[in-house]
Chain A
Amino acid sequence: AQRVTQPEKLLSVFKGAPVELKCNYSYSGSPELFWYVQYSRQRLQLLLRHISRESIKGFTADLNKGETSFHLKKPFAQEEDSAMYYCALSPISGGYNKLIFGAGTRLAVHP
């Protein structure tokens, strides 16, 4: 079955500390993977996608097919990074943009 697992409901760090938000997936093929973010009182929005190999707001995520993981990392957390983060998978097959979301991890960055 296709599934996205985010094992941590809450990740609490201090400003300047490294951050790693974990995401593991279950999918037999080669998926497209995304991180979406929801800041306080804002809409859910795309943060980054693995196909773009981009760094957004200092965050990066590498697809590790061997470990079926797509962890989100940032070397130095900022208070403005506090938000709800969702990992999402889109199966290549299926013919449409069906996103499967994880349950989300709340990142709290303390001063």
Chain B
Amino acid sequence: DGGITQSPKYLFRKEGQNVTLSCEQNLNHDAMYWYRQDPGQGLRLIYYSQIVNDFQKGDIAEGYSVSREKKESFPLTVTSAQKNPTAFYLCASSTGAATNEKLFFGSGTQLSVL
């Protein structure tokens, strides 16, 4: 099954710990995104990357960090500075970063705090 692979499916974080969520795509897409989904709320943009070695903050970037060293990979680190990390995290990609590009989504990672 090609497309976007997120791992792990479930992740638990201890207080004060940094955790990294993986996102890999084999669609040869330039743009990648991280969204956070909380119950009863829509998806909110954390970070996005239009091209390798470049990324920008979204609406709720505080407490998160990303890297884009390879076109296929866009890992998200939830740092200890993120005080409310429990949420469902979705990674997405698109061929480019134009406003009408279709987004392809991964299956998500549920992060919980122990």
Contacts and interface: CB of A to CB of B under 8 A. Distances in A.
Interface of B: 31, 33, 35, 40-45, 48, 50, 56, 58, 90, 94, 96-107
Contacts of A32: 99-100
Contacts, number: 60
B107 A97 contact: no
Contacts of B103: 36, 46, 97, 99
A96 B99 contact: yes
Nearest to B35: A101
Interface stretch (A12-20, A74-82, A87-95): A87-95
Contacts of A104: 42
Interface of A: 4, 9, 32, 36, 43-46, 49, 51, 86, 88, 90-92, 94-104
A86 B43 contact: yes
A37 B40 CA distance: 16
Contacts of B90: 44
B50 to A, nearest CB: 6
A90 B42 CA distance: 14
Contact of A49 (B31, B45, B96, B100): B100
A100 B107 CA distance: 19
Given A32-B100, A49-B100, A98 B41 contact: no
B26 to A, nearest CB: 15
